[in-house]
Structures are given as C-alpha cells and as structure tokens.
Amino acid sequence: MLRGTLRRIVPADGGAIDLAATDARTALLDAYDPRSPEHLRLNLVTTLDGRAAGSDGTSESLTSRADRTILGVIRELSDVVLVGAESVRREGYLRPKRAALAIVTASGDLRGHRLDAPAGEHPLIVLTTESGARRAAETLSTAQRLVLEGDDRLDPAEVIATLRRAGFGRIVAEGGPRLAAQLLEADLVDEMCLTVMPRLGGPALPLLTSASTRIHEARPLSLLVDDSGAQFGRWALPRGLHG
C-alpha cells in the first residue's frame, strides 16, 4: 500500500492528501484536472540540479512511488501521451494503461521499444515523415502511422494540430528534453507538471535541451510536498505572455 502524506503548499488552505486513504486517487484526480477539453501539459521529473535521469540513465531510477501515482493520474486525465523516439529507445517505454501513446520520430527509428501489446488497448500512433513511416513499420507494425511534412525535423505545431484533428484534445508530453524544449519554444504548452526530487548529481541529461534565451513566465497552480521533500508542482504557462 502506498503510504505518506502530500502537504499542499499552494494553495495554502487546500489541506493534505493521505496517500493511504481510499479517496486519495479521487483527490489527486481533482487536483490535476485541467478542466479544459483541449490542453497541452509537460510532465517531467528532475533533480535539484536539473538532471532528468537517475543512476541508470532513465527517469525510472529517479522517480518515486508517489511520483508514479501522480503520473498515472495525469495520464488518466489525458487522451494521449506524447513522447519522442529517443525516450522510447532510452526508457524502454510501455504502453499507458489509460491513454493512447503517440511517438514523434522523423527517422522512424524505434529500436529497443517494448510497445507490442494485445489488441483492444488504447491506440498506438507514430507521427513521422514519409521515409520514417517505412522504417517504423519494420520495428512497430502494429502502430498507426501519421505522416507529416518534413525530413529532418517535424514541426511541433503540426504534431499537436495533427493529434487534435485525430480527436486527442488533452495531451501530456513526457519528453524527452528535446521534444519538451521544442514545444516550449513553439509556445504550445499550457501547463508544466514538474516533480523535483531531493537529489543532486547523476547522468548529464538536462531537463530541457534548448539554446533559447526566451523567458517563460509561470504561474503556480498547485504545489504538493511529500515526506521526503519531493515537490510536485503544476505551473500554468499563459501562451503569448512570455517575456
């Protein structure tokens, strides 16, 4: 059984969530509900010094049971989970239980994936180029392939627009760093959900891979802190209002 308490720092009068209580998941679903039919979230985890991976080079060794519970809640509130192919290869992604999975890959290189699943699961989608679609079919024949324009780099705005046209209004992007930075740079993100683990050091994988100097002003929606000091924040990013 998951134990511990999530104390609400923002809003200060929100009360705590007892993770062992029978209504804990209901409370988290309410706390993370975007209350919008179209919404793009980033959901990322980092160390105190801005690293996005733990000792094994993946986020799995950086995260915690409380963080994985919140991850499941955010996925349940989403229509589709969006990830880059690099994360699929590095993290050994599994298909989400409560949402579709969409993978962005210009090359179609999906070697090392663990995405084969029986029929009846949520959709599995690959957003790729014409040549990438042929390569993706060699390693992931069960996926629906949506072909976008471009050769070396896919336009993040077109990626999101394509998913919306396919009926996926609520999107959560889980990285990697390059995709997250591209979505931010294109001014497409409504909200960032960021877990900050009380840890320093680890592999040199930055949270965001970007040379941009643009400043994104963020407004706190909620901040939870668990017994270990891990922080679980929701930050609104009003589009078009960046400094």
**pLDDT for position 211:** 53
Which tens digits make up the pLDDT trace of 4-37?
A: 999 999 998 878 999 999 999 999 999 999 999 9
Report whether 81 contacts 231 (CB < 8 A): no
**pLDDT for position 89:** 85
**pLDDT for position 227:** 93
Give me 48's structure tokens.
């105190």
Going by pLDDT thresholds of 50, 70 and 90, the confidence category of residue 242 is very low
The domain 38-236 is placed in CATH, from the list 3.40.430.10, 3.40.50.620, 1.10.3470.10, 3.30.750.200, at 3.40.430.10
Which tens digits make up the pLDDT trace of 121-147?
A: 789 999 999 999 999 988 888 888 999
Least confident of 12-21, 62-71, 95-104, 116-125: 116-125
Q: Residues 191-197: what's their mean pLDDT?
A: 97
Q: Residues 193-217: what's their mean pLDDT?
A: 82
Q: Does the pLDDT value for residue 241 go beyond 50?
A: no
Domains in the chain: boundaries: 38-236
Sequence-separated (6 or more) residues with CB below 8 Å from residue 236 = 190, 191, 218, 219, 220, 221
Q: How far apart are CA 4 and CA 112, in angstroms?
A: 35
**pLDDT for position 57:** 82
The rounded mean pLDDT for the chain is: 89
**pLDDT for position 155:** 95
HEC secondary structure over the chain: CCCCEEEEEECCCCCCEECCCCCHHHHHHHHHCCCCCCEEEEEEEECCCCECCCCCCCHHHCCCHHHHHHHHHHHHCCCEEEEEHHHHHHHCCCCCCCCEEEEEECCCCCCCCCCCCCCCCCCEEEEECHHHHHHHHHHCCCCEEEECCCCCCCCHHHHHHHHHHCCCCEEEECCCHHHHHHHHHCCCCCEEEEEECCCCCCCCCECCCCCCCCCCCCEEEEEEECCCCCEEEEEECCCCCCC
**pLDDT for position 84:** 94
**pLDDT for position 140:** 86
Higher-pLDDT residue of 9, 115: 9
Q: Residues 91-107: what's their mean pLDDT?
A: 91
Q: Does the pLDDT value for residue 212 go beyond 80?
A: no
Which tens digits make up the pLDDT trace of 147-162?
A: 998 777 899 999 999 9
Going by pLDDT thresholds of 50, 70 and 90, the confidence category of residue 243 is very low
Q: Residues 201-213: what's their mean pLDDT?
A: 76
Going by pLDDT thresholds of 50, 70 and 90, the confidence category of residue 1 is low
pTM of the model: 0.92
Least confident of 57-61, 159-163, 214-218: 214-218
